[in-house]
Amino acid sequence: MKKSFLVIFSCLVCVVSFQAFTIHREPAWKNLKILPQDISKDGLDSVMHHFTASLGVKCNYCHAGNPAEHKMDFPSDEKPEKQIARKMMLMSIDINKNHFQQIADMMKDDNEATPVSTDTAAVTYMLKYVTCYTCHHGDAHPKNKPPKNMDQNRPPMPPAPPAPPTQNKQ
């Protein structure tokens, strides 16, 4: 009886000990819908810094503030700009994956050195060829029309070729 009690007690202590040292990780990030959940802090910071630099904005452009805690509420979807950013991310992923990846594959086939990541997550395609900066150039609301004085920026037309000499036949 004493021996079975010790065995049961030892097993119970082992189970409790293992449970105590088992790490139950919750996802590091809340409310990531496009970026992978396992993205590193440096990776997430890099993507966010790319957004702020490409659009010429700060974090509060897409992320809502939490006035009670005097800090940003990054998981919040309160601001519509965050939804727009997600749609733009999907657009650039689609463009890069479905159009430019074929170019990279062709270059790789030609034995040229092409930096192709082994990461298959969405981030791989998001910051490759077409990025936020491609259109935004540091402006949150990029211009979508050419300047009105476009004629002033054109190079001068080449001179007209001289007229062929006329021959007088009499």
Which CA distances in Å does 147 have to 44, 94, 109, 143?
36, 29, 41, 9
Cα gap 111→89, rounded to integer Å: 30
Residue range 31-49, pLDDT digits in tens: 999 988 888 888 899 999 9
Q: Residue 104: pLDDT above 70?
A: no
Is the whole model's pTM more than 0.75, yes or no? no
For the stretch 137-168, pLDDT in tens is 999 998 887 767 665 666 777 788 888 877 76
Q: Which amino acid is at 29?
A: W
